Amino acid sequence: MKYISYFFIAIASAFLVILLSLSSCSPNPKATTSQPMMMKAQPKSQPQTSQQTADATVKIRNFKFEPANLTIAVGKTVQFSNVDEEPHTATATDGTFNSKALDTNQTWNYTTTKPGTYPYICSVHPFMKGTLTVIPQKN
């Protein structure tokens, strides 16, 4: 009888692990589209659809940000483009910006608002790191 209870606990644990794995990997139904999305971040990470062209691009490929370090002027727009098979985010560690989950071939634009150095990660894969350096706009 003792071993039967261990068996049922093992089955329940395996089921729970599978369930949690599937729920964390499921795409956000609100972010799923049939075409790539163009979004622009507002302060406090409020994304909006935007047709604005980007001044610089960061590609998300092979679980890396390319380039990992980017310098751009205030008021310029950087586009994050996920060309990986997995969903990724571009999330500033200080909360300045957050792309939410980008599926394959989705893009997200962020227009810089103030100078500074902004380290960012993929919140799904925190080992992925990058730095956005924003410099004052030249007159």
What is 108-125 written as a DSSP string? Answer: EEEE--S-EEEEEE-SSS
Say which CATH number the domain at 38 has.
2.60.40.420
Structural domain that includes position 126: 34-135
Q: Per residue in 118-134, is it b (16+ CB within 10 Å) or e — as a string?
A: bebbbbbbeebebbbeb
Q: How many domains are contained in the chain?
A: 1
Q: How confident is the model at residue 138 (pLDDT cuts 50, 70, 90)?
A: confident
**Does residue 4 lie within any of the structural domains?**
no
- pLDDT score at 63: 97
**Does residue 123 lie within any of the structural domains?**
yes
Q: How confident is the model at residue 17 (pLDDT cuts 50, 70, 90)?
A: low
Top pLDDT among 8 and 64 is at 64
| pLDDT for residue 133 is more than 60 | yes
Q: How confident is the model at residue 104 (pLDDT cuts 50, 70, 90)?
A: very high
**Does residue 97 lie within any of the structural domains?**
yes
Q: Does the predicted model carry a pTM greater than 0.75?
A: no
